[in-house]
Amino acid sequence: MKPCGLLLLTLPLLLFSLFTQAAAALEPAKLKITPSTVELGTFYGGARMHIAGMAGAGCKVIVVVRGPSATEVFNKLGRVGPLWVNTGKVTISAAPSLLLIFSSEPVNTFLISAAIDRYQLNLGSLKKHIQIETKAPDRDRVADDFLAFKAHQGTYRIIPHSVQIGAPDQGGLPYNLDFEMPRAATPGKYQVSVLECPNGEVTDKSDVDLEVVEVGFPALISRLAKERASLYGIISILIAMVAGFGIDFIVFHIFKRKAAAH
């Protein structure tokens, strides 16, 4: 093929590619989260997060932030006479390390129960999916206690009326959400999902990943614990000793001042 003919064939393809990229850049994002990475540093006490995007016209919007599944072991307390004692272990798995559910309205007011169960949009539906290994027959009570503990810890939260819906435009229905990433968040890959719900069903689901990573001194300690266990043990002892001496020093000076005042 002559160079001139090759140029004529390539030019339309190049123009089509540029046009497609420009159209994609102008198209409103269905889901964008800021920041895209949460850093757990020495002084981490939570992180302010912002989610924005476009949903279909006439939709209710649900935003779900879900942490990786974790396995946790708890002591099981039982009453022996007048005392409460440890009667065994309970292992709970297939439960997310974090579950935050935000919606423009209470979920049960616009979504059928089958959809709520399918997407685990309340604690009752989550209770059906978690796995509990225990010799005791009281699975329901153990599950309820676990969910209540997570809610008290702040890692399981359901917050209606938190997703703000804007006026419809040609691109769809704009929404945005501001929330606090809990201080109890652990490192891992989290999934942020936006569910679009017209007419009682979930018709569209958009997902993005959210990285939660350790940085600075916590990252160093975590790396030492995995790669240099002996050095990690020595550093842990030194930190405990320094903390103990520090507390003794503060307490001694406080009581010394009080005694001097008398």
Query: What integer pLDDT is reported at residue 81 of this predicted model?
Result: 72
- How many domains does the chain contain in total? 2
| Residue 193 placed within a domain | yes
Query: What integer pLDDT is reported at residue 221 of this predicted model?
Result: 60
Q: How far apart are CA 201 and CA 118, in angstroms?
A: 11
Q: In what order do the strands lie in the sheet with 69-80?
A: 69-80, 83-96, 131-133
What's the burial of 255, exposed, middle or buried (CB within 10 Å: 0-12/13-18/19+)?
A: exposed
- Claim to verify: residue 144 and residue 182 sit in the same structural domain: yes
Residue 58: give the domain boundaries: 28-214
Query: What integer pLDDT is reported at residue 87 of this predicted model?
Result: 75
- Claim to verify: residue 203 and residue 253 sit in the same structural domain: no
- Claim to verify: residue 107 and residue 172 sit in the same structural domain: yes
- Claim to verify: residue 38 and residue 110 sit in the same structural domain: yes
Q: What is the CATH number of the domain that holds 46?
A: 2.60.40.1930
Query: What integer pLDDT is reported at residue 252 of this predicted model?
Result: 59
Query: What integer pLDDT is reported at residue 198 of this predicted model?
Result: 93
- Claim to verify: residue 188 and residue 74 sit in the same structural domain: yes
| Residue 16 placed within a domain | no
For every residue of 144-158, which 3-state class applies, written as one string?
HHHHHHHHHHCCEEE
| Residue 17 placed within a domain | no
- Claim to verify: residue 249 and residue 207 sit in the same structural domain: no
- Claim to verify: residue 76 and residue 54 sit in the same structural domain: yes
Query: What integer pLDDT is reported at residue 23 of this predicted model?
Result: 35
| Residue 15 placed within a domain | no
- Claim to verify: residue 131 and residue 191 sit in the same structural domain: yes
- Claim to verify: residue 75 and residue 103 sit in the same structural domain: yes
| Low-confidence stretches of the chain (pLDDT beneath 50) | 6-28
Please tell me the number of Cα atoms within 13 Å of 103 on its side-chain side. Answer: 22
pTM comes to 0.74
- Claim to verify: residue 78 and residue 159 sit in the same structural domain: yes
| Residue 23 placed within a domain | no
| Residue 237 placed within a domain | yes
